[in-house]
Structure 1
Amino acid sequence: MLRYLVTLSRPRFWLYLAGPVLVGVSYAAADVPELFSAPAVALFAYFLVPANVYLYGVNDVFDRDVDEANPKKEGREARFRGGRAVTAVVAVSGALLLALAPVVPAVAYPWLAGWFLLATEYSAPPFRFKTTPFLDSLSNGLYVLPGAAAYAAVAGQHPPLLAVAGGWLWAMGMHTFSAIPDIEPDRDAGIRTTATALGERRTYAYCAACWLAAAGVFALVDWRLGALLLAYPVLVFGIVRSSIDVDRAYWWYPYVNTLVGMAFTLGGLWRLTNA
């Protein structure tokens, strides 16, 4: 069961939630000890594993029928196998967010509440954003909210809105790119997404537009951050021009995102150590 739960939580994507926490903390900290403050450690611990169990567990619960025909669920991911124990672990993983309340300052609560709402309603009724073109993309700003919460918790104030907007646009592009391999299984299951509505070629263009916009917004924060994000539209252009199978390219992105996130974090640490 433990092996199944680890597979369900998508270990390759753990840093998609925990990584923004590291970025937020690195830019919020006023000195080195704040990097290891109780709120920073608690948020990183929650968003590394429990948050992923909850997010993907809810997704798999409500996608059981759709996933029967999805080849991505063979090998690197798992089809939801049900059972009270699994359902209980998913529910407890979500409820653990409440355990952060005594540790995390109230200024971070709106960001955490926003994450929980979107993480739930992306897959669950009544909204089930993932089945509505463009709302599925927009709602995936949820991946930025752990970083915003971490910044607020450590700095004691809300993060710059331009940084949140840039991160949100990046997440929209990343989510929609990840939906390209699912176009045919989703169409077969009658699921409508941004990718199924646009088709593969136009979805590539949509992703590139989101990432170009993200780079432009981040450039208003710091030109170096904007330049770093240009890697994403350039990579999309390369994939399209070379006709690389998107099912193969999809699995590059955990590494690409880790490297870019590391560069963001190192930039924050450099600022801190050279202040």
Structure 2
Amino acid sequence: MSTVTSSLMRLFKVSRPISWVNTAYPFAATYIILGGKLDGLFFIGTLFFLIPYNLLMYGINDVYDYESDIRNSRKNSLEGAAETKKFHPTILWTSVITAAPFSIALILLTPIQAAAIFAALIFFVIAYSVKGLRFKEIAFLDSITSSIHFVGPMVFAVAITGFQPKAWPFALALFLWGIASHAFGAVQDVIPDRRGKLQSIATMIGARATVWLSTILYLLSVVVVAVQGGAALIIALAGLAYVANAAAYLKVTDKTSANANQGWRRFIWLNYGVGAVVTLSLIISVL
């Protein structure tokens, strides 16, 4: 295998391909549902949020989380990479170089309000991990910032298409879902994070309280969607799968927090199943 091919494969792993759809889909679906067309802006935005955005987000995270990641058994799997320090400059430069042209195009091609939202989104992507800001180590702000990473592409599409009021309940639901998901994901790392002197929502309030918070937020997200009626009821029913997945760990303790990894792995695949239901529901609502 050539050096270039090897580097590309490593960068591919860093970008968490299993999570690409979680950022591209909110933008693409929202853009089309709210009246956008299959135009240049749609394809530029969708492609950006599919690959460069994830490489930027997870690449920066992997570089600045290196010392803790090499001690985490979950890394070097579908849950993340743990690349050597020697490869870190390649990750950072490639992340910036691939994201820059898309970012410039999206800022120039969209209204000023949308461009400002996009710029803020990129800031939160960087601020989550980079040294000096490290929002991921500020309890509660860590989950809020992580959620912005996923609801942000949707809000960007809402801004491009004119801030239609009907979109906001669904944006709120996705925001609550994002906070719940990050918090639930933090539970499995309570012990290694404390050993590494890393702060998170889970290390601050404990594993059990975090799972309860996550479950409640998932349920609130479901309720927000359900009250929209129509095809949204189908999406809400599918969303109950997240509630059930988190609720299975309501009795978890800090000592048994690593067991939540099973639920986190189910969560990763739930995104595809629930995503399929969302897609069918959107098609039904349009027909």
Asked if residue 41 in structure 1 is aligned to residue 47 in structure 2, the reply is no
Asked if residue 92 in structure 1 is aligned to residue 97 in structure 2, the reply is yes
**Residue of structure 2 equivalent to 1:20:** 26
Q: Which of 53, 70, 73 is equivalent to 1:71?
A: 73
How far did 1:21 drift? Answer: 1.7
Asked if residue 145 in structure 1 is aligned to residue 145 in structure 2, the reply is no
How far did 1:61 drift? Answer: 1.5
Q: Which amino acid aligns with 1:220?
A: V
How far did 1:123 drift? Answer: 0.9
How far did 1:270 drift? Answer: 2.2
**Residue of structure 1 equivalent to 2:244:** 234
> Runs of 4 or more off by more than 6 Å in structure 1?
241-244
| RMSD of aligned alpha carbons | 2.3
Q: Which amino acid aligns with 1:229?
A: G
Q: Which of 177, 181, 192 is equivalent to 1:170?
A: 177
Q: Which amino acid aligns with 2:241?
A: A
**Residue of structure 2 equivalent to 1:249:** 263
Q: Which amino acid aligns with 1:72?
A: R
Q: Distance in 2 between matches of 1:270 and 1:37?
A: 23
How far did 1:257 drift? Answer: 1.2
Q: Distance in 1 between matches of 2:180 and 2:187?
A: 11
Q: Distance in 1 between matches of 2:71 and 2:119?
A: 33
Aligned residues: 268
Residue pair 1:148, 1:158 contacting (<8 A) in 2 also: no
Q: Distance in 2 between matches of 1:182 and 1:241?
A: 16
Q: Distance in 2 between matches of 1:39 and 1:12?
A: 24
Q: Distance in 2 between matches of 1:29 and 1:263?
A: 21
**Residue of structure 1 equivalent to 2:4:** none
Q: Which amino acid aligns with 1:191?
A: L
Residue pair 1:20, 1:261 contacting (<8 A) in 2 also: no
Q: How does 1:158-237 map to 2 (within 5 A)?
A: 158=164, 160-222=167-229, 224=233, 225-237=235-247
Residue pair 1:107, 1:157 contacting (<8 A) in 2 also: no
TM-score normalized with structure 1 length: 0.88
Q: Distance in 2 between matches of 1:129 and 1:194?
A: 11
Q: Which of 261, 264, 269 is equivalent to 2:283?
A: 269
Q: Distance in 1 between matches of 2:284 and 2:112?
A: 28
Change over 3 Å in CA distance of 1:103–1:262 after alignment to 2: farther
**Residue of structure 1 equivalent to 2:3:** none
How far did 1:110 drift? Answer: 3.1
Q: Distance in 2 between matches of 1:226 and 1:49?
A: 28
Residue pair 1:47, 1:146 contacting (<8 A) in 2 also: yes
Q: Give the gaps of 5 or more residues in structure 1.
A: none
Q: Which amino acid aligns with 1:269?
A: I
Which structure has more relative contact order (CA 8 Å, sep 6+)? It is 1
Q: Distance in 2 between matches of 1:269 and 1:104?
A: 26
Q: Distance in 2 between matches of 1:258 and 1:233?
A: 16
Q: Distance in 2 between matches of 1:38 and 1:25?
A: 12
Q: Give the gaps of 5 or more residues in structure 2.
A: 1-6
Residue pair 2:48, 2:99 contacting (<8 A) in 1 also: no
How far did 1:111 drift? Answer: 2.8
Q: Which of 133, 149, 154 is equivalent to 1:127?
A: 133
Q: Distance in 2 between matches of 1:237 and 1:70?
A: 25
TM-score normalized with structure 2 length: 0.84
